[in-house]
Amino acid sequence: MQIIINGKTYAANPGEKILDVARRNGIEIPTLCHSEALPGLASCRLCMVEVHENGRTQYVASCTYPVADGMEVFTNSEMIAARRKILLALYNLIAPDSARIKGLLARYHVEPFDRLEADPDSKCILCGLCVKACEELGTNAISTLNRGTKKKIGTAFNEPAADCIGCGSCAIICPTQAIEMTEAEGNRTIWEKTFELLRCRDCGEYFTTPESLEHVRKKLGETVGNIEELQLCNYCKTKRAATRLKDGLHLDEYLDSDK
């Protein structure tokens, strides 16, 4: 299958989204709520593109719109560029300290709104990526609360969530760094709940909470393989895997050896 983006033809696979094909081919489409690990949220609408298909013109979210043979896509038409500028100026009002939004303003030559004042304490653009991350983990500790102008992301009754395991995924994935997560003296505080941190068995750096480790262990269940592997930070896990591959020991053999 082939699609045309900005006048050039590209190969595409059935089921792929326009954003996938564009990014694979180095075509820039800005996003805030898109994550490779958790695609398909389509809430920030920054990835809107103009699509000409079956004689119709549509403006669609490229992260969720599937490709079709012969489809013509414009990522920077006059209408798209104008809508993108308005959206970015609005997001800049909502999250005035966000480095990512500041970068996008500069990249797309957006002038901030001068007649509207940003709330300096506001950080969250309500994209919902954090909620999706927490849902995917199966913890469901945060959700969208309230409606209209009072809408926000938080824990039930604004109280420290019993289900939160302190993994930090919500804070790490947030595009505007709206979720506060602090670490000091072997403790991590997030959503007003403080967790002890565990040290990596290899390098000794703090890396996760006992609750997160237990959650992963339970999820993996029988397939957990090498339990020691879970007690390593990502850096040391990768280092060990690379060493094993270098030494000619296949990862599956290594995991089987510890069962």
Beta carbon of residue 92, minimum distance to ligand SF4 (angstroms, whole number): 25
User: Residue 198 region, left (φ>0) first, then alpha (ψ -120 to 50), else beta?
Assistant: beta
Q: Least Å distance between CB 179 and ligand SF4?
A: 7
Pick the closer one to ligand SF4 by CB: 128 or 168.
Answer: 168
Rounded least distance, CB 188 to ligand SF4, Å: 9
Helix (H) or strand (E) holding 61: strand 56-61
Q: Tell me the closest approach of the beta carbon of residue 196 to ligand SF4, in angstroms.
A: 14
Q: Evaluate whether 166 touches 157 at the Cβ level (below 8 Å).
A: no
Q: Which is nearer to ligand SF4, 141 or 236 (CB)?
A: 141
Task: Please say which residue, 133 or 232, places its beta carbon nearer to ligand SF4.
Answer: 133
CB 229 within 8 A of CB 220: no
Positions in the binding site for ligand SF4 (CB under 6 A): 133-134, 137, 139, 141-142, 164-170, 190-191
Shortest reach from residue 227's CB to ligand SF4, in Å: 21
Work out the number of other CB atoms within 10 angstroms of the CB of residue 165.
Answer: 24
- Complex with ligand SF4: residue 27 or 190, whichever CB lies closer: 190
Instruction: Considering only CA atoms, give the Rg of the chain.
Output: 22
Interstrand relation of 2-5 and 72-74 (parallel, antiparallel or unpaired) = parallel
Residue with Cβ nearer ligand SF4 (87 or 153): 153
Q: How far apart are CA 27 and CA 6, in angstroms?
A: 9
Between 159 and 228, whose beta carbon lies closer to ligand SF4? 159
- Encoding tokens for residue 52? 């000409």
CA pair distance 187, 209, nearest whole angstrom: 9
The first and second tokens of residue 72, run together, are 């013509």
Q: How far is the CB of 139 from ligand SF4 (least distance, A)?
A: 4
